[in-house]
Structure formats: C-alpha cells, structure tokens
Amino acid sequence: MILWGEIGSILGPTGVRGSKWFVFAGTPDDAVAFDSGFFDSAQDQDMFLDSVSGETYQLSGIPGPAGIGFIMGATGPTGPTGVTGPTGPTGVQGLTGPTGPVGVTGVTGPTGPTGVTTHPFLLMGA
C-alpha cells in the first residue's frame, strides 16, 4: 500500500487586479452624470471607452480620466450599391377612400324623335 502525504498547493496567492475597461456611450463625465456610482470600482490605470466617438481614456489619479487616443479611424468611403433583392409579397388591400366631389353637369344631348300617338278609344278593346 502507498501512502500519500500532502506537501503543499500549486495555487499561489490571489494577485492584484489588472486594469479594467469601462464602456459608455459618452465621455467619463457623461457616465458619472448618468450614474454617480459608475466608477465605484475604478482603480488607477483602468481604461474607459466612449462607444460613440471611439475615444479612449486612462484613469491615472487625480483629477480623473485623461483622453489617450481613438480606437476608430476616419469614416471610409461609401461602398457600391448592392444587388436588388427579390420582390416582396403583395400587401393587403387598403381601405376604400372617401367619395369624391360631384362633377360638372354635362352638355344637354339632342332631342329624340317624336313618338307614335294612339287614340284612347282604340285601347278599349275590339
């Protein structure tokens, strides 16, 4: 039988937290205005990204984050127009619109031919 004895651990002590990224759609001042506790866990050398402009900031003590650069370049040229897609399905018929205004009266037509005159006594029976 083999007896095993504990001699130590391969895990060392917990190290110091590395720098952390904070991301917000605006500047660090905008983030604080949005949530006064936004940077509660911030430490020296942490980074901040303005997701709208692409500007990056680094927290290096007082007075606060300093802009250090941009991660987005200039806007590129517009790409070529894509191919036309297939025709979509026919939509449902719309509602009937309101009745339009009455039109102008047309021209009077020509007089018709004279009809046949019948004597009243001829209609009484034969």
Q: Which of 43, 50, 42, 1 is nearest to 24 (CA)?
A: 50
- What was the pLDDT predicted at 122? 59
Q: In the chain, where do the E strands start and end?
A: 21-24, 47-50, 55-59, 65-70
Query: 56-66 burial, b if ≥16 CB within 10 A, otherwise e?
Result: bbebeeeeebe
Residues 39-81: pLDDT tens digits?
888 888 888 899 988 888 888 765 566 677 788 778 899 999 9
**Is residue 9 over pLDDT 90?**
no
- What was the pLDDT predicted at 19? 87
Q: Which of these ranges, 14-23, 46-55, 61-70, 87-96, has the smallest mean pLDDT?
A: 61-70
- What was the pLDDT predicted at 11? 87
pLDDT band at 29 (very low <50, low <70, confident <90, very high): confident
**Is residue 115 over pLDDT 70?**
yes
Round the CA-based radius of gyration of the chain to a whole number and report it: 45
d(CA 28, CA 22): 9
Share of the chain above pLDDT 90, in %: 25
Phi/psi at 32 (5° precision): -65, -40
- Interacting residues of 104 by C-beta distance below 8 A, sequence separation 6+: none
